[in-house]
């Protein structure tokens, strides 16, 4: 059963009542707007988790209203209801940044699933905002963390001040993931043992951790596979059903990752016992791996150059990563990179994504790779075949001739196209020119690629919101750089 507030609007009383009844049965709190102008007022007043609306009767005013909502509440998911007679509005609304589109007549299961995903997205965004706030506090408190006394803890087996930085990272992991236990296990290849040499959270007495054989337990598993893992529920994970160490965790979810130096695992970081009753997820796992990378950078630098040079290089690497995030956030760039990769996979000379406009009058070039494709084509029934099914140069001579006009002064030997769908709505098609061998194309793989491309196109507004995260990373990096400089000055005075 669901929990959350849903704001709905539909001019047709039948559908507004139907949606209300379905969501009430699922235990959602429903707020109904009687006219479109009430949507923004009710969003501010009731702070819903999701908005469901059909604003097609507003004409061009529908985009104005949706744009106002998205600008004021960029993380609020909007589910648009579209009449089966107006399917062409799907592309229009997706470009406006709606979370999902549902076709009338409404299917109960489809509505419930869409609302569930939208609420999960809202909760995730709220968690990310809270996490960014925590990371911001971590950056400001770096010097405070470094001043903390660690007399009860043996030093990480490195003869440089960076061991304090690694301890700071472990403390940061505790804050970022609300974890009770974070540990760093060091591998001694000569003795074939691993030792817990640093930890954070509630497990401050590392004397309680006995040395264990490399390959033993979950830490040993990660050390052998050289791959990070995250486990939502250890009781359901076949890899660790027989592990005698799985009972050491208070909660059933944990993350564990290797610290690699010169292609060899030198340490393993574990995060477990989350304070909140919720398992770790893929987003947590991505952030966790970034923390492991920070530890890897610290260790690598300690073996190669002085602490000062290492600190500056790490800061430069963080800045470069932030710049890359900003560069790839734009959906068009992401699509171009995807098309480039797929073209290489199929050994095609060129690839393009064409999307039909909301009026079903034109095909518009959304992304391309390899060739100079034309920006726009008028829709007609012959090209409509490209929306209904996969086509190739053997389909018909007329279609082949039509495809040759997509590129000026270029000899097209063959082509292959795949339709792009959002649920059952045709959005456009993917076009490949001059493949080395059409017979070798794996159509199941291509269907998965088409789904990926449709998701990338749909989430245009989400990628733009990621720019905010990238900007936050840049600010955090600057603060980390200032903290590092301050630390270096202090070390210099000590020396």
Per-residue model confidence as pLDDT tens digits over 239-254: 776 555 555 566 778 8
Q: Are 321 and 264 part of one and the same domain?
A: no
Task: Judge contact between 268 and 259, C-beta under 8 A.
Answer: yes
Number of structural domains (the chain) is 3
Task: Write the pLDDT tens digit of every residue in 39-95.
Answer: 999 999 999 999 999 998 888 888 899 989 988 888 889 999 998 888 888 888 888
Residue 146, pLDDT > 70, answer: no
Query: Strand, helix or coil at 161?
Result: coil
Residue 144 lies in a domain: no
Give mean pLDDT, residues 7-12. Answer: 93
The per-residue pLDDT for 344 is 84
Q: What is the mean pLDDT of the chain?
A: 77
The whole domain housing 74 covers: 5-129
Q: What is the enclosing helix (H) or strand (E) of 429?
A: strand 425-435
Q: Are 67 and 84 part of one and the same domain?
A: yes
Inter-helix orientation angle 162-177/108-140, to 10°? 150
Q: Are 188 and 265 part of one and the same domain?
A: yes
Q: Are 247 and 184 part of one and the same domain?
A: yes
Q: Are 108 and 172 part of one and the same domain?
A: no
Give mean pLDDT, residues 115-142. Answer: 67
Where a domain ends, among 129, 164, 195? Answer: 129
Please provide the distance, in angstroms rounded to a whole number, between the alpha carbons at the two ends of the chain. 63
Dist. CA 315–CA 45, nearest whole Å = 43
Residue 141 lies in a domain: no
The pLDDT confidence band at residue 158, using thresholds 50, 70 and 90, is very low
Query: Strand, helix or coil at 66?
Result: helix
Give mean pLDDT, residues 392-413. Answer: 90
The pLDDT confidence band at residue 198, using thresholds 50, 70 and 90, is confident
Residue 138 lies in a domain: no
Residue 313 lies in a domain: yes
Where a domain ends, among 129, 158, 190? Answer: 129
């Amino acid at each position: 059963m669901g929990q959350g507030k849903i704001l709905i609007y539909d001019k047709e009383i039948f559908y507004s009542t139907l949606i209300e009844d379905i969501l009430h049965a699922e235990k959602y709190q429903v707020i109904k707007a009687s006219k479109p102008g009430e949507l923004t007022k009710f969003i501010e007043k009731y702070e819903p988790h999701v908005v469901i609306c059909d604003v097609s009767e507003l004409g061009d005013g529908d985009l104005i209203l949706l744009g106002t909502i998205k600008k004021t509440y960029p993380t609020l998911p909007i589910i648009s209801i579209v009449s089966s007679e107006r399917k062409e509005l799907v592309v229009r609304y997706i470009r406006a940044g709606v979370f999902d589109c549902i076709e009338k007549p409404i299917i109960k299961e489809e509505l419930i699933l869409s609302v569930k995903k939208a609420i999960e997205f809202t909760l995730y965004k709220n968690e990310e905002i809270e996490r960014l706030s925590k990371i911001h506090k971590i950056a400001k408190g770096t010097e405070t963390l470094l001043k903390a006394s660690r007399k009860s803890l043996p030093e990480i087996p490195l003869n440089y001040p960076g061991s304090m930085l690694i301890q700071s990272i472990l403390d940061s992991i505790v804050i970022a993931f609300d974890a009770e236990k974070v540990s760093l296990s060091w591998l001694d290849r000569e003795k074939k043992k691993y030792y817990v040499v640093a930890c954070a959270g509630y497990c401050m007495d590392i004397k309680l951790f006995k040395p264990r054989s490399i390959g033993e337990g979950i830490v040993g598993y990660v050390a052998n596979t050289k791959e990070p893992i995250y486990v939502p529920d250890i009781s359901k994970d076949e890899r660790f059903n027989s592990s005698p160490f799985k009972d050491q965790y208070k909660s059933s979810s944990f993350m564990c990752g290797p610290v690699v130096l010169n292609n060899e695992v030198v340490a393993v970081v574990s995060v477990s016992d989350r304070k909140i009753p919720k398992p770790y997820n893929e987003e947590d796992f991505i952030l966790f791996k970034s923390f492991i990378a920070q530890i890897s950078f610290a260790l690598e630098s300690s073996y190669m150059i002085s602490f000062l040079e290492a600190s500056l290089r790490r800061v430069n690497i963080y800045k470069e990563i932030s710049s890359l995030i900003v560069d790839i956030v734009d959906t068009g760039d992401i699509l171009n990179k995807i098309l480039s990769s797929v073209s290489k996979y199929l050994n095609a000379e060129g690839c393009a994504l064409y999307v039909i406009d909301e009026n079903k009058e034109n095909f518009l070039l959304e992304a391309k790779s390899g060739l100079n494709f034309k920006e726009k084509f008028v829709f007609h029934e012959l090209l409509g075949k490209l929306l209904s099914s996969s086509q190739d140069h053997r389909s018909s001579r007329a279609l082949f001739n039509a495809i040759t006009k997509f590129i000026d002064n270029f000899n097209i030997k063959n082509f292959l196209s795949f339709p792009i769908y959002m649920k059952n709505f045709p959005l456009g098609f993917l076009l490949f020119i001059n493949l080395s061998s059409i017979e070798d194309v794996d159509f199941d793989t291509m269907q998965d690629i088409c789904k990926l491309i449709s998701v990338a196109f749909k989430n245009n507004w989400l990628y733009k919101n990621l720019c905010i995260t990238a900007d936050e990373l840049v600010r955090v990096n600057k603060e980390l750089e200032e903290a590092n400089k301050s630390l270096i000055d202090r070390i210099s005075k000590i020396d």
